[in-house]
Amino acid sequence: MCRHGFCPPFIVVIGEGDETILELIETIAKGADVKQVAGIAYRDGEQVTLTAPRSPLGQFDTIPNFSLIEGYPMMNSLNILLQRKKPWVTVQSSRGCRYNCSFCIVNTMFPNGYRIRNIESVICDLRDKRKYGKDLMFVDNEFTAYPSHTKKLLRRMIKEKFDFNIFVFARVGVVNDDELLSLMRRAGVGYIYQGYESILTENLKFFNKGQTYTQIIKAIEKLHSFGFSIMGSFILGAESDSLQSIRATADFVVERKLASATFFTLWGHFPEKSKGYETIIPWYRSIFLGWRYCNGHFVTHFPLKIPPSILQREIPKIYRKIYSPKQVLRAFKNGKFREARHKILLRYLWHFIEKEIEAYIPFLEEIEDGLYDSNGNLCEELLIQRVKKNPRWTFLYGNQTIQALGLTPPEFPFLEKHDIICHPRKKDSSLPSS
């Protein structure tokens, strides 16, 4: 049965599917029973069955063969001109992450831990990928997690003279190694994506980022000095976020001259094993209208210090600010033509996203009505009372996940125990905190 416009597939591969998908295809081709395939879930009528877990995957050195995909383009300059698009090719030199940020699902996606790929396998993969394009993205969650290994890989890439334009993900600590930064530039890395997440110390601690605001500033200055363009990633709607802090974040992007930035609304409704099956946001503060609104552009919870509709309205304003004609002109004046073109493209794309956001806001205004005080603080006890009467907008799929894991169903907090109150913000320190 389809719910909220979402029809589940018949079979889902769980976790890393390198081996699972091959066995699954062979099993189906033979007409055998898929329940013997480890590492999948499948639906039979209304019954969902979870098969035995698959043993952890060790090495992942298999090189994808794009020639097996009928019609997959090897695009030359004429193809790019005619189709008006330029493809990015991707490669992976590691899996997993050595860190444990509270908002991130990477360690759930890759529960087998952080692993690196054989360098020669990566090089062979890069040789093949070069046939399909020049713009390359390493999809490693942390490209520089093991600097010694990364340096060996970069030296091999330099020797091969691939001539890629490379985009990588790296934490702020990468700036502590000048040799590594130099090798990255020589190998063709020009764009670095960094997860700053917030400019507030409280939020960085809440996210368990393991970095400070001072380190973020140092990273930006150092990367700029080496000639890197930076894409900063930020999360909006954390427990300490307010309208003022969100606007200050947009100003930060402009003042620090980031090439681009992404702003994702906080998502924290799945009870993940790596986090003790606790959600980041209490389930009664969840908002769920449908899966199409769970892509990071839409507010899906009740923040503590800003109503959902106000936060939602602010997001398009941020993008209009950082991709404004003024910022495009600044990039052109500084000779950063690729960056300027990128800003123009993103501003154009956001024109279409904004239409969906505008259509979503009335829903938020309806469900938040009467739940926030005059200072924009959430009255949690009122929300709990309302959810008890009608939980229609809560993340029901989250509840189903809890049941599927065999955990205790979510319960409402006891108001006396949690001291959940709602008072207008005052300077009087005698008031209990919410």
At 238 the pLDDT is: 95
At 429 the pLDDT is: 36
At 15 the pLDDT is: 83
Residue type, 152: K
- CA atoms of 348 and 336, how far apart (whole Å): 19
Percent residues over pLDDT 90 in the chain: 58
- CA atoms of 221 and 2, how far apart (whole Å): 50
Strand partners, 47: 44
Residue/partner pairs of 368-371 with CB below 8 Å, 24 or more apart: 368/302, 368/307, 368/308, 368/309, 371/302, 371/307
The per-residue pLDDT for range 305-326, each reduced to its tens digit, is 999 999 999 999 999 999 999 9
- CA atoms of 106 and 149, how far apart (whole Å): 21
Q: Are 124 and 77 in contact (CB under 8 A)?
A: no
Q: What is the mean pLDDT of residues 7-19?
A: 79
- Classify 394 as helix, strand or coil: coil
Whole-number Cα distances in Å, 256 to 177, 231, 253: 21, 11, 5
Q: 69-78, 118-127, 280-289: which has the minimum mean pLDDT?
A: 69-78
Selected residue with higher pLDDT from 96 and 403: 96
Is the predicted pLDDT of residue 3 greater than 50, yes or no? no
At 71 the pLDDT is: 73
H or E segment and range at residue 194: strand 189-197
At 77 the pLDDT is: 60
Q: What is the mean pLDDT of residues 283-289?
A: 92
Strand partners, 231: 193, 260
Give the model's confidence band at 278: pLDDT under 50 very low, under 70 low, under 90 confident, else very high: confident
What structural domains does the chain harbor?
Answer: 11-50 (no CATH), 66-365 (3.80.30.20)
The per-residue pLDDT for range 135-163, each reduced to its tens digit, is 999 999 999 999 999 999 999 999 999 99
pTM check: above 0.95 = no
At 68 the pLDDT is: 83
Instruction: Please provide the distance, in angstroms rounded to a whole number, between the alpha carbons at the two ends of the chain.
Output: 41
Is the predicted pLDDT of residue 107 greater than 90, yes or no? no
- CA atoms of 74 and 133, how far apart (whole Å): 7
The per-residue pLDDT for range 186-229, each reduced to its tens digit, is 999 999 999 999 999 999 999 999 999 999 999 999 999 999 99
Is the predicted pLDDT of residue 353 greater than 70, yes or no? yes
CA 331 to chain centre: 26
